[in-house]
Structure 1
């Protein structure tokens, strides 16, 4: 039965279709190359122009190099392949739809200048961080927001269930991965009940993220249950990198006043009900109060770009349905990152934190596949005396990616950065904490896909009470992890050639 399920799975069928297209592409190129010198000459010219075009594009140098090398090696095939697969921007249709909605919501995202002035008086460097996020992503900083940090998916899940049950008006959920199991089934039961009660229940999931986890057309099944549902960027088995633009966000908003985000998807491994790679460590945050507005607008922007539903966004503001009084707990700034704007907001938020650190920066990341800017920032911070500690998985989910992650260790260790691998299992968290004052928790991995291709989100926090909890979790996690040494690097030198090759092609993985 299991074999039949695999043979007829959507993942296998899609994979075979793409492989078939690629085989035809290679065959035709081979035939044309042998049959005609003129065609070969034209192919060579195409490749030469493509290389010049890549060099002059405003893109990350590592991404350029990853394409130039195969073009120079395979010549005709490489050049034409880039024309087919090299575009990493969203489709024109997706761009236009998102830009149209973004113009509408921008008037609802005005920064309170008094809050900015307060932050400026406390710390001008932090003021610069806040200003950058506001100007680059369009999401302002808020006060009057309570924060709660979750060091494990189990704790996040317990509160998410409790808050979903309290919903009175609406529930918005946007997740990269949904998989049938205890976690999703219990949430689905609540969503179905709330829809029957007349609440506005909306769900978005990423079609590629759920390709092997949900049945084809699962959104139709949810619609029949009364849950409004969108499968984002429905996967088509075509040779096109447009399919790389995934919705990697994890957002839940209840009645506008309570919001959740972080690395936690809706699948049993995230709450350790299912073991995949040892103990699964993930993190998240819950916000209550004004700061939830940014998450609400992030969801509504994506929703309305795919299904025009709302004309007045102000009806979803936090205070409208909030009964409990919210105490001010520092400053919060949920922010989004998009492949549309040409601005790597997620990476720049991380760089700003590293570059302004005085005493320490602790980092959780499942993947450490970094460009020159990030490598330089981490090394410089360590060299100027900042205590930089990075925690990566002890048990990887992808062995090739893990080898690639380890390929960056040598240079970092030489600069004084300390690297730990989470001994109990896999760490999926995306957390930065700095100097007891600043932290960010979200969905943004330290790899090219998250930083350049995906729709992502995070929460920048300044002087929030939960920052102490984040620091304590970082210290506890480090104590359970194995410190990677220079001796470990020497012992693994037999993999150095393979790792070097992987690093060249890292932006394409």
Structure 2
């Protein structure tokens, strides 16, 4: 009997040693930031064997071949289009006062990081409900004459998803070029055959970066989280809504869905078109399915509105965390107030410190988060950081009327950001995102009015209210925070 227990102990010790060596090799063989490195070491060492199953879903990076393809396609045949775009827009004037100087510096940041041009004369409409958004979007898709380009993280096989598919099939049958790009994980349960009718009518549909089968390529990270619609190269949509019944408030679990999306008419659409084509060309195999940049940028001859903006994209194909740096630029430029809405509040140290500095400098920092989780670990980590920020003078609101999914940031009533990127590690480092950075007091004022209206449906979370939570809940929050670099 003693011999049996000795063998078992040696067997378990061998497994632990092999697990430790494998954990160290697995984590350090790929370049990561120090926070993610320690988080994965924690998972792989504290949860032997099972930790590697978790890593298979969350930790593996995209193959370098795919990332290099992404970089190549982003630049392939695009320089001519970029040059053409830049010639059509007037550069910002020399700064004469502080506001113009801040605008100019922010614009220069994105021109340097993302080769993003400034479009100055856009008409921007803000949507906060799926009913209004999809009604307008589908009407414009139905009226399309030349091309319809659609890219979403989620397109579900449900009522609204089938309605969109039927509409696209009809437009493809009419001879309109239809291209649909979707993320296989975000659109879980939707098979490629879902789009067979569209393909039969001459349309195209493919998974982002050709993720063939979730059974063999089941990464939860490095997903296409962008939401882009471009119609005839003239009208564009960008924001937080996906295509699914839950975004219309039809799922009791979430209740009314509160999100923010933009409709853009003007040169800003070029930025969405450019991003879609780069993503599409990196995802398709056949040369005949490639979208060629030359034909999709109609000349803008009129001033549609007064909103200046830049479309900025980021993703793991680049080490530059472009949207995060944009958030930092806005936070650090604030003189009066910073108002933020995000479903996931899991900032890295740089963003956390910037918010702390702003709050301690007398700037009014307000952050609105949901009152309920859609991902348990993620929400507990969000609660942890919300608690920490209340102690630093930041006002935290929890939105009570359904699920808050908006990703907005408003600065001093002058600048704003709206898009797909949350205020978390995943959007900064792990997913492909796109945001509109807006330089216009009128549009920013409208976004701030929406924020104020949302406060009426929210509760203030104080440090005392967090302190009154149970010890078990505090433990879950602290534990989830340890995993925040990989959530």
Taking structure 1 as the reference length, the TM-score comes to 0.84
Q: Where does the alignment leave 5 or more consecutive residues of structure 2 unmatched?
A: 1-6
SS in 1 for 2:116: coil
- Asked if 2 retains the 8 angstrom alpha-carbon contact of 1:85 and 1:239, the reply is no
* Residue matched to 1:92: 64
User: 1:448 deviation in Å?
Assistant: 2.1
Distance of 1:143 and 1:116 partners within structure 2: 9
- Distance, in Å, in 2 between the alignment partners of 1:275 and 1:80 is 35
Tell me how far 1:44 sits from its aligned partner: 5.2
**Is 1:449 aligned to 2:423, yes or no?**
no
**Is 1:67 equivalent to 2:44 in the alignment?**
no
* Cα distance change on mapping 1:357 and 1:154 into 2, 3 Å: same
**Cα deviation 1:130-185 (Å, max 9, x = unaligned):** 11222212221112221111122222112112211221111000011112334223
Cα deviation, 1:258-278, whole Å, max 9, x if unaligned, reads: 000100111122122444312
Among 68, 72, 75, the alignment partner of 1:103 is 75
> 1:35: Cα distance to partner?
9.1
Provide the residue aligned with 2:485 in structure 1: 507
Q: Secondary structure at the match of 1:429?
A: coil
| Range with bigger deviation, 176-185 or 388-397 | 176-185
Task: Quickly say closer, same or farther: Cα 1:464–1:137, change in 2 above 3 A.
Answer: same
> Contact (CA 8 Å) 2:248, 2:256: kept in 1 or not?
no
| Matched residue, 2:204 | 228
Q: What is the TM-score with the length of structure 2 in the denominator?
A: 0.88
What does residue 363 of structure 1 align with? 340
- Root-mean-square deviation (CA, aligned residues, Å) is 3.0
Give the aligned partner of residue 498 of structure 1: 476
Q: Of 206, 219, 241, which residue of structure 1 is paired with 2:195?
A: 219
Residue in 1 aligned with 2:3?
none
**CA deviation after TM superposition for structure 1 residue 252, in Å:** 0.5
Greater shift, 139-148 or 397-406, is seen at 397-406
Say whether the 8 Å CA contact 2:19–2:45 is kept in structure 1. Answer: no
DSSP 3-state at the match of 1:482? strand
Verify the 8 A CA contact 1:257 1:319 in the aligned structure 2.
no
* CA shift for structure 1 position 85: 7.0
Change (3 A) 1:498 1:106: same
CA–CA separation in structure 2 for the residues paired with 1:119 and 1:150: 34
CA contact (8 A) 1:88 1:241 kept: no
Distance 1:151 1:84, change over 3 A: closer
CA gap 1:491/1:354 in 2 versus in 1, 3 angstroms? same
Report the secondary structure of 1:319's partner residue: coil
Change (3 A) 1:430 1:171: same
C-alpha contact 1:202 1:229 (8 A) present in aligned 2: yes
CA, structure 1 residues 78+395, in 2 after alignment: closer, same or farther (shift >3 Å)?
closer
Of 118, 122, 145, 2:93 maps to 118
Deviation at 1:372, TM superposition (A): 1.3
Q: Which whole-Å deviations, capped at 9, do the CAs of 1:379-434 have from their partners, x for residues lacking one?
A: 11111111111111123222332222111122201111000011111001111111
What is the rounded CA distance, in whole Å, between the counterparts of 1:117 and 1:134 in structure 2?
12
CA–CA separation in structure 1 for the residues paired with 2:218 and 2:9 = 24
Q: Deviations over 1:51-94 (max 9, x none)?
A: 7667xx4x43321220232455468x599789967865422231
1:106-125 per-residue CA deviation (whole Å, 9 max, x = no partner) reads: 44224748744327455222
What is the aligned partner in structure 2 of residue 284 from structure 1? 261
Secondary structure, counterpart of 2:67 in structure 1: helix
Determine helix, strand or coil for the equivalent of 1:222: helix
How far apart in 1 are the matches of 2:94 and 2:358? Answer: 24
